[in-house]
Amino acid sequence: MKNILSIAFGAVIGTWLRYLLYIATSPLSFPLGTLFENVSGSFLLGLLTGFFVRKGTKEWLKLGLGVGLCGGFTTFSTFIFDSVLLWSDGYLLKTIIYIGVTFIGGLIFVVAGFVLGQRVGGWSQKRKGNR
């Protein structure tokens, strides 16, 4: 039950943050909000995963932050829909850039987050050992 509640709580926060970003970026003709959500969400998920791999943590916390928060904040379906809209409006180059930056940026940021998370997790373990 703790796992389900933490996922639900994380999803509420992630979805709320995504909605605020949507409001802030909706006047733009380019889906910058969705791009930011997915790339920064990739970084956050990589960071959390890297940290948890090094540090270890409770399952409910991993699920709440990973599945709940990151899952609620990022959105694949909106990314696909925005891509189709850009393409159908005749913006072929913008569509290619959007898809490329989302995928390549997501990959780069998840790796960067994972590496940073492992370093932070390793650093906190070393600090504990020195006390």
For residue 31, give the DSSP letter: -
The answer on whether 71 is annotated among ligand-binding residues is yes
Sign of CA pseudo-dihedral 73, 77, 83, 87: negative
Query: For residue 17, what are its two tokens?
Result: 């943050």
Which residues, at least 6 apart from 120, have a Cβ–Cβ distance to it below 8 Å?
A: 47, 50, 51, 54
CB atoms within 10 A of CB 62: 18
Distance separating alpha carbons of residues 104 and 116, to the nearest angstrom? 18
Among 72, 66, 76, smallest CA distance to 15 is for: 72
Binding site as annotated, residues: 71, 74
Binding site as annotated, residues for Na(+): 71, 74
